[in-house]
Amino acid sequence: MTAEFMPVYLALFFGLSYSLKLLWISIFKQKSTDLQLPKGNMGWPLVGETLAFLKPHKSNSISNFIQEHCSRYGKVFKSHLFGTPTIVSCDLELNIFILQNEERNKVSSIGFGVHDILGKLSMMLISGELHKKLRSVAISFINVSKSSHEFLHYVEKLSVSLIGSWKEEKRILFFKEAKEFTLYLMLKNLLNMEPEDPLAVRIFEDFLTFMKGFVSLPLYIPGTAYAKAIKARTRISSTLMEVIKERKKIGAGQVNGDFLDEILTKECLNDEERVSVLLDLLLAGYETTSGLMALVVYFLAQAPFALQQLKEEHQTIRKRKKDGEALNWEDYKEMEFTSYVINEALRCGNLVKFVHRKAVKDVEFKGYLIPAGWQVLPIFSATHLDPTLHHNPFEFNPQRWTDPATSKKVTPFGGGLRHCPGTELGKLETAFFLHHFVHNFRWKAKEEDYPMSCPYMEFKGGLELELELVQKNKG
Ligand code: HEM
């Protein structure tokens, strides 16, 4: 394989594995003979236009590929991507229509080794009743976390400790620090593990290896990042299985007050499913939230007015609280401007650029035909940065969120039956971290170390921050 094709396979793999599934949508409309396929270009045999589609670009920009295709063919066009005929949608209405019209009982299998790396029971790959069952377990975990004082305190405690560890530092690689922070939060909440627990350290190291392989060439050749990732996943699963067995020995029930206690009492789950849900939550909860934290910190570094307003909001909350008094859910709900900042970072930064769906029946949309069996890719970033939907779309402007209509024009958490159940949890963790960060530090980020869509979100330089400790009035 030549070097120039390596990124295609890599990106093919990640493009698929990031959305982690091909879902079938079923829309009950009859095929009409006068319907036309959208215009477009099917590209080269097999590879189609995949290489151009996946070319890395600033995540707060529309790629050249999308721009050129939209101006030539319109916002909905046909192509050939990831080895299959595809309709690409940069149209908000169609994206929402697709997200909300899933038929859960008909899911296609997915190739490129994703089953191997994620495990066959991963929520991202299953469908129907099994998906419903595991999703409801994940939702109950997230709901319990949001309303648990202990967990909210822990988010704050870990934020304070992380930020405290930077007091002697002039520079930090923020993205890595954020990843560690969010993984330890998940480990505490799921398994009652503290960062210094030897098992937590083992899981963290295996996770780093796992994530490296997750974005590498998906060929099982011993010694490659991919092969190491599969082994790391097997080790994480075995560690989780060991923890489950140990807990069972002591007796299932409310021993530690964590999620594992909770799922051990659920008789509808077997141990393999328990391990899979734990892995899904670790993965989904840690990568995305750390990405969100990094985006917020990056955009705020370039937006002094927004940062000032954010600081004022957090100072007001701090002043109202007694010294050392913990943040709670009500405080989070009052962080209105913070929520604008987070939403705007998601709109501009496009943590998840697109997801995969597939039509099970012929679909008619605005006179177009989407034939049964074709893949459909709703491109979230294209609508997030669409000038017909958002005024000055490339400008980071949290104030646009004062208009309630803005939230109807973005889909950073997907939609429909697979809408992200961790939305509020990820936002809350980011908001609590920001509360202490803006209170303690000024920071600079290099403008050129911008977020990249690879298509997973990445900072080439790891988002190096230059830190300066600030004098506090209170707290
Ligand atoms: C903070 C930023 C986050 C973003 C931008 C995000 C984005 C998304 C998106 C777009 C999907 C849908 C994928 C699809 O339709 O194919 C999704 C699914 C999911 N997310 Fe999140 N997520 C975030 C945080 C979290 C957190 C903190 C958790 C859990 C602790 C979580 C758990 C999940 C799970 C379990 C699914 C699969 C749902 C299903 O298939 O039914 N996410 N996320």
Residue whose CA is at the smallest distance from ligand 1 atom 21: 420
Separation of CA 316 and ligand 1 centre (Å): 31
As for ligand 1, residues whose beta carbon falls within 6 Å of it are 19, 123-124, 135, 138, 142, 280-281, 284-285, 288-289, 292, 351-352, 355, 412-414, 418, 420-422, 425-426
pLDDT tier for residue 357 given thresholds of 50, 70 and 90: confident
- Per the annotation, binding residues are 420
- Residue 445 confidence (pLDDT) above 70: yes
Separation of CA 210 and ligand 1 centre (Å): 18
Q: How far apart are CA 93 and CA 378, in angstroms?
A: 10
Mutation probe of ligand 1 site: the residue of 137, 139, 413, 419 with most atoms within 8 A of C-beta: 413
Q: What is the pLDDT of residue 385?
A: 98
Give the number of the atom of ligand 1 that is nearest the alpha carbon of residue 135: 41
Separation of CA 322 and ligand 1 centre (Å): 35
Quick one: tokens of 92?
A: 């908000």
- Per the annotation, binding residues for heme are 420
Lowest mean pLDDT among 183-187, 362-366, 401-405: 362-366
Q: What is the pLDDT of residue 289?
A: 96
Q: What is the pLDDT of residue 390?
A: 98
Quick one: tokens of 246?
A: 């140990």
Separation of CA 421 and ligand 1 centre (Å): 6
Q: What is the pLDDT of residue 25?
A: 39
The answer to whether the bond into 451 is cis (omega within 30° of 0) is no
pLDDT tier for residue 103 given thresholds of 50, 70 and 90: low
Q: What is the pLDDT of residue 219?
A: 67
Residue whose CA is at the smallest distance from ligand 1 atom 38: 418
Separation of CA 423 and ligand 1 centre (Å): 7
Give the number of the atom of ligand 1 that is nearest the alpha carbon of residue 21: 16
Domains parsed from the chain with CATH numbers: 3-469 (1.10.630.10)
Residue whose CA is at the smallest distance from ligand 1 atom 31: 422
Residue whose CA is at the smallest distance from ligand 1 atom 19: 420
Average pLDDT over residues 236-259: 81
